[in-house]
Structure 1
Amino acid sequence: MDVKGRFAAIDACENILREDFKYNEAHGIWRSINRIIEGLLGRSTELADVYVELHAALAEQPRALNSFFDVFTTTVYSWNPGKIKEAREDREKLTELNERIAKVSELLSELLSRRTEVKEMSSFSSDTYYHIMDVVEEASEDNGLFRFHVKGKLERLTCQYDLKYWPSITKVVAQIGVNAASAVIVADDSAASAATEARRPGLADFLKAFEAELDRNRVENIGFIPDDFSLTDSSMASLVNCGLGLGVEELIGASFVKRYRQRERDRDRG
């Protein structure tokens, strides 16, 4: 490619970033994305070869180049190392909370069962819930939709079928615990799964998330990125370094991306 064509390719890519920046600024949205765009625009020299490669591969495909930059900046925002760390912590918190709910539900179920036994065997009682629908009704006290559309129907069912047809409050509480104990933590999307699946965190997590987002936006998935598109190892490394604003000691090279991709291919074959 001659010098003129090279500058045209770089300018075309940076114009997409500038237009995205202007749109976000005009609408008062995505300030964090705009900071990422500013970082990219400030590193033209480092990204020049990346832009030339992107332009050659995607410029002739309708909306593909725009889609690529949208996917990349969004991934940097959503799945940078800080966000991945938060996601891992959220998963751990969810696991811990389910474990605690299981234990507390078991204890509460036992206490409810014991209270029923004492009431039935003693000369005393207490003004506590008796029917599971009592719990549902009072828990829905502030829900107007429940009162106007559901309450009457449930009251008729409660009168129609005596207590033996309904689960006890004790069993409902116990089942909440069973559900929590057997819960499987699942990521809401492919990027979240890819970014957090490794046992130890690292920059490969971001690469996984980025490639997952690219895959989700390919033509075969009703997107605009060609199905066979892939950045070279060196371009991917430069883009990640600049997009994440990595420090000198954190920078990755083409060899890092190459090893990562080889591991992923080996895993897929395995």
Structure 2
Amino acid sequence: MKRSADNSVRGQCEDILRGELSYNLEHKILASENTITNRLLMRSQELQRAYAELEDKLGNDSRALTTFLRTLLSSAAFWCPEKNAEARKDRKRLEDVNEEIASLASRLANLLDERSVLHNHTGFSCGEVYDLCSATEAATKDHHMFQSYPRTEFRQLFAQYDGKYWPSLSQVVRAVGQDAASTEIYATDPLTEAGTAGPRASQADFFRAWFASIEENSMRYSGFLPQGFRLSDESMATLADCALDNDPDKPTGAEYIKRLRQRAREAQKGLES
């Protein structure tokens, strides 16, 4: 990587960004982050005050500077309003899928019960899958790991305890449906939780995810950013405008960030009370 002749933190930040870009291009990864990096480099003049504040807060700590810039790149790449709209569609789709599973599982369980009655009370029968053991055997006939290891013990266990000790197929299916009907959809990581907390996709999602990413990368969680690290509202707004390619004539503004932070504090107090 060719280093900048500028020895300021601005030069150091831009060297870090160029290094990230060079690595990603070489390894053909993170195209979305590369787009954000190019935006920051192209709008460098707008970021002078933000970089100056980074110097005040982090000095020339390259690990902390790299960590901070990476939080910006990843948040802007994966938690921009467009991506947040997609995340909400994914959550809605998961809700719909669960509803469909619950409905189909109930119908299938009822049909399995009816088939058992017909098998037991008529002169007819069909199929080889009739209980948990036969279903497992059928499902794992091409499962190499199962066939190589637990199959023998599995068969011995079923031979040791007859059918009354095991749930029926309909009970298993019904349990799957009941779980789908009652399950609560939740985010599996703090960034997803923060980025989809609002009622609809907006720029606020990006900032919530970015704040969460900064916290996750603090020394409190074995990261490199000082605990309690915080840039001014103005610097955060400027960095976001450049990363998200917002119109320079319509800046986000420090007041917007101030309101977001105030709402976050109020929400936290509500959770703690």
* Fold match (TM-score > 0.5): yes
Q: Which moved more, 1:10-19 or 1:211-220?
A: 10-19
One-letter code aligned to 1:236: M
Q: Which residue of 2 aligns with 1:190?
A: 190
Q: Which residue of 1 aligns with 2:3?
A: none
Gaps of at least 5 residues in structure 1 are 1-5
Q: 1:52 to 1:156 in 2, by over 3 A?
A: same
Contact kept? 1:13, 1:55, Cα under 8 Å = no
Q: Deviations over 1:117-144 (max 9, x none)?
A: 1222222222242221111111011111
Q: 1:9 to 1:158 in 2, by over 3 A?
A: closer
Q: Which residue of 1 aligns with 2:125?
A: 125
Q: Give the Å deviation of 1:19.
A: 1.8
Q: Give the Å deviation of 1:41.
A: 0.3
Q: Which moved more, 1:218-227 or 1:160-169?
A: 160-169
Residue 86 (1) aligns with residue 112 (2): no
Q: Give the Å deviation of 1:249.
A: 7.7
Paired residues in the alignment total 265
Contact kept? 1:16, 1:66, Cα under 8 Å = yes
Gaps of at least 5 residues in structure 2 are 1-5
Q: Which residue of 1 aligns with 2:108?
A: 108
Question: 2:149 is paired with a residue of what secondary structure?
Answer: helix
Contact kept? 2:47, 2:239, Cα under 8 Å = yes
Q: Which residue of 2 aligns with 1:57?
A: 57
Taking structure 1 as the reference length, the TM-score comes to: 0.93
Q: Which residue of 1 aligns with 2:37?
A: 37
Any residues of structure 2 matched to 1:1-270 within 5 Å, and which?
8-61=8-61, 63-247=63-247, 251-270=251-270
Q: Which moved more, 1:116-125 or 1:130-139?
A: 116-125
Distance 1:34 1:104 in 2: 44
One-letter code aligned to 2:70: D
Q: 1:127 to 1:200 in 2, by over 3 A?
A: closer
Contact kept? 2:9, 2:60, Cα under 8 Å = no
Q: Give the Å deviation of 1:34.
A: 1.8
Contact kept? 1:233, 1:258, Cα under 8 Å = yes
Q: Deviations over 1:66-87 (max 9, x none)?
A: 1111111011112111111111
One-letter code aligned to 1:153: E
Taking structure 2 as the reference length, the TM-score comes to: 0.92
Distance 1:131 1:250 in 2: 65
Q: Give the Å deviation of 1:98.
A: 0.7
Q: Give the Å deviation of 1:228.
A: 2.1
